[in-house]
Structure 1
Amino acid sequence: MTPVEAKQALETSFSPFLAQPLTLTYGDQEWTPTVSEIGVRIEIDSAIEAAYAAGRKNGLIANLREVAAVWENGLELPLHMTIDQEAMQRYLASRVGDIDQPAVDASLEIDGSLISVQPSAAGQQLLISDTLQEITAAIQGLSPQQIALRTRELQPRLSDGAAQEAQRQIAALLTAPVTLTAGDEQFVWSIDDLARLVRVERIASTDGDTLAVSLDRDQISQKIAAIADATEIKGRYPRVDWNGGNLQITKEGTPGDRVDEARAIDLVTTAIQGTGPQREATLTFAAVPPPVTQANIQQLGIDGLLSVGKSDFTGSAAYRITNIKAGMALLHGVLIAPGDEFSFNNTVGNIDASNGFVEGYAIVQNRTQLEWGGGICQDSTTMFRAAFWAGLPITERWGHSFYISWYNKYAFAEYGDGPGMDATIFTGGPDFKFLNDTGHWLLIQTAVNVASRVAEVRIYGTDTGREVLLDGPTITNRVPAPSQPVYIAEPKIPQGSRHQSDTARGGMQINFTRIVKQNGQMVEQRDFVTKFRPWPDIFEVNPADLGPDGKPMPTPEPTPETPPPGETRTSRLLTRTSRLLTRTSRLLTRTSRLLTRTSRPSHPPAKGSLWLSAL
């Protein structure tokens, strides 16, 4: 038999194996790889060459002996087969690997009070090494074989039971809202609020993972801090005197009260974890010492003058001067912490006798009447000017409703005098506020010089490097005073007489711009506008003297009197002259009062009425 015939015979003999060496099965799935796909190769050519070489590779005598032996006993030659394990592994990974399925752990889903468990599922893994060993052994027989893939089941790390236990623990935490009491206030944490506080942590274990349920103390701490902020009773900073730069406390600060946050966290945690029907906790307070004492006052960084605000109150009545001094005394020595907003109304407090104020005339809703603290706007105006020139952000400021001439002096500091640089306030209404954005503490010092009629506010702090410039003022929209007077019904006015409560004055608009530079860079350019409304002469008249048109009715001509016997024309003339002088004296007295009259500020005008600013 020739080598070719031998090869054909061998290939025919092994053709079933070479066509489909094996069938891999898994359940109802089958895979039929070719010999090349699994890296199997039979060395037929080598076997034929070895057989054909028998009796031909030695000398004549040796070859004859070898041929005789083959003839008598036959010749057995091994048929070599090579297996490429890497090719076989690639086939399993690419064609059969999709039977790998990871195990699915149980999971928890929390939606408010609804806690659900997603069940676990087992997975499976193809055991490639074990399968390769079986394939290698099977193909040694060079006949088609069927081999079941070797796999193993993968169990989930987190079982349904572990998730269900965590579900039970969470449900116990969310049975009902929790009520917290802090002082006079109550705060209710809803079930949804509580659900956001639940923390679930997975704990690994060789026997299977578990879920640890707890409360997130960081989140509880944040919520408690918000309650503490809302209920805190702030202490008062001390009052401080500049004292030439050697700061001295003139009135000690007072401690505040704040929720004891560390203890509150424990109380709240206990309330949430409690199993009783009363899910509540009463939060306790702890004293908060004043942040500024004589021991640390020199560390506040208050080392220089930042600005000065001045105003003139020449012509003020005694009650007005009293109120100016009372307000300035309440402002003197005030500390403003970094980031705090100064409020004039909150700082001054009650404008009444308890704080040294007296009643004075003020114009309120078209009427002149006694009000506490008339003239306090002198102080708010002076404070506005100091904050303006310090370059501090003005967060609230209201201009007066009508023009007041004595606010002209010192209005624009080195830029000169003029109208419009004022600020009106009223308890419960318009306020003057500014922000301490310097990053350091500020100190307010005030002074009232009765002899020179000058009020002054000085602001001390740490040099900010700010330069404050002024553009303006510009006066526009001048409107003359109304020519027609206004008459107000006032039963207290005697019939037949009238009282002038207001004098006419024109209106105008004043615009000025503050430019603030810091270290040469512009950080603010802000426009300020003051609008003065035109204001008429206002007279108070007895209602019986007003006609249907709201104006006084004409006074009837007096009936000539018959002179008593013996009265001469000269004596009658002297009597009339005396009466005229008396009336003139009364008029001069009323005029003097009008010139010194002041008014307090009020709320912005309501529809159908007008509030006038304080003088």
Structure 2
Amino acid sequence: MSEEQAHHRKRLITILVVVGVLWLLAMGRAVYAFQDKKVIYDGVKIGAQDFSGLTSVQAKEKILAFESRMSVQGLSFSYRTAQDEERQAVIYPVVFRSDGTDSRDIIDVDVEATVDALWAVGRTGTVVRKVGERIASQWYGRKIPAVVSVDRELFRDVVRLNLASDEQAARDARVVYEQGVFSVEPDETGVAYTVDRGLDDAVALIRRLELRPIAVDRTVDKPSITVAALSPLVPFLTPVAADDIAVTYEDPNKKEKFSWTLDHEKIAMLLQVTQDEKAGFVLGLSEEALGAWVKETIAPQVEVQARDAKFKIEGERVVEFQSSRTGVEINTPALLGALSQVVAARLDRLVRGENGPFLAEQSTVSLAVQTAEPKIKTGDINNLGIQEILGIGTSSWRGSPANRIKNIRNGMNKLNGLLIKPGEEFSLLAALRPFTLAGGYLPELVIKGDKIEPEIGGGLCQIGTTSFRMAMNSGLPVTKRTNHGLVVTYYNDPTNGNPGTDATIYDPAPDFRFMNDTGHYLLWTTYMDSAAGKLEFTLWGTSDGRKGSYSAPVVHSWIGTGPMKEIETTDLKPGQRKCQSRHPGAVASFTYTVDLPGGEKKETLYKSYYRPLPEICSVGVEQKTEDGAAPVEGAPTEGTPTDAPVADTPPVSVDDLAG
């Protein structure tokens, strides 16, 4: 064998050895890949986070650790102000109401779905596909995005809210009237932020389990109306406002005639120039200023709510009537349009060089109103099918302070004798409004976040809770119901004293509503037992055979309140204390059942969560002097809510936010 042949043979052997080793490695990896391990396969990642070799539990813990870090650090959005200063806004993934009774997720990683996606690599499809995916992930890696849910509208709103203090809207030039002289206030260029791309970047980061600052785009906001455009109008404004404008109206209920006058000063104060795509600039009146004038001057004499005819029965006889009344509401936009046409016509005439008194149509407008017919007119209250009791709801207001009792009685009186039409969705808030002193309500303590404050109408959730129980015992469809944020003893169920069957109301929301699907009118009667501290509501009508009921509420768990909190305040005299009793949280549920005449049964499971709140005491302190004198301690004041705990029941003293 020649030397060249020997060398060639040696090289061939080397190649065969290398190929054999590679083959063995490949076979080893194939055998390794073919095995169905109880862990996530090698090379599977989310972004830069490696999940190779982790069990599903370990993977969940890793993702939850990221969520925990995101909850603490938040999402940082960087932006530049109008003065070119760099700032950051931190957005947290969960937002709460100011009183802590409700929360919403802005952005959230679906841990279960994400782990399922990681686990699915190499485990779905045919055997060939499974093995192929396992080998591919080992050699080349496999990146899986985290499954993320986003409330984009809420996300956008929260980001924009955090940027709002540094956002400067462009200001149009505008006509101003001061000390009898018209002038033009200069326009200003503003700065606006476009957050959509930043939101996309934030979501992309979370899908990679990454946290880092996100840039927000800044744009220049230019005014649409400039000084140069308005200045030529100024000489015409004084003559436009020179003559009065009369607003006339005839009351549809009393047939009484009214007239209100916009004099020169008032017209001059209301004048406003707006941009119009077709006409360029239009002279009109300020909607906001006109609305304020209408509300203060005209509305008290014109606006009334529609009033239904109602009757009260004793036994089965109607003994009391109330006549119906057409409701009237001022149509401010229509009035604005009519007045704007008057001043525009005046301007047009002056620009054309016409002099002399303005025409009648340029000096008088009719007040535009919207009318609402009563739901039940006086002639409609006969033969309504009010025959029998459909259901009764009760609750206890025992121990309530005086104003709370007066508020409950006032609300009860508004409901007593109320008729609900067939097919109507009844709104409790609509029936109880207006929540004002004039509406018969008084201030009573409510809880707002961590503060105890008097508010007009406190205690009306007694009405909401009793109505809820009445509707269920009548077998009616409940369309809107929200439980309280806290456990309040006034609303514990009379069957076993547990929370769960309450309903909170608070204007404008939440409301309590139900449908009258009986095909007949319903009559609502109320009764307040002062001796027993009991409120009772009854629905009368025509039964179709249905029976409504609800199970006694079950408390699945109680939630501790934590230690007492003290808040120093100068609103109280030094040493005075006002305390809110602690409110243990709870998770409760009950079942609402309707047995239908055909033998069918409808069941609705209601679940309620009540947040815990520790005892909070406001302590009066002295104003600190220059030498930093310490506050003085003192005794608690009279009138503080002092409901004490009852054995094995959560202690409370005053209403929750809406009650």
Higher Rg of the two aligned structures:
1
The bucket for the TM-score relative to the shorter chain is: 0.3 to 0.5
Which TM-score applies when normalising by structure 1?
0.46
Question: Which structure exhibits the higher relative contact order, with contacts defined as CA atoms closer than 8 Å and separated by 6 or more residues?
Answer: 1
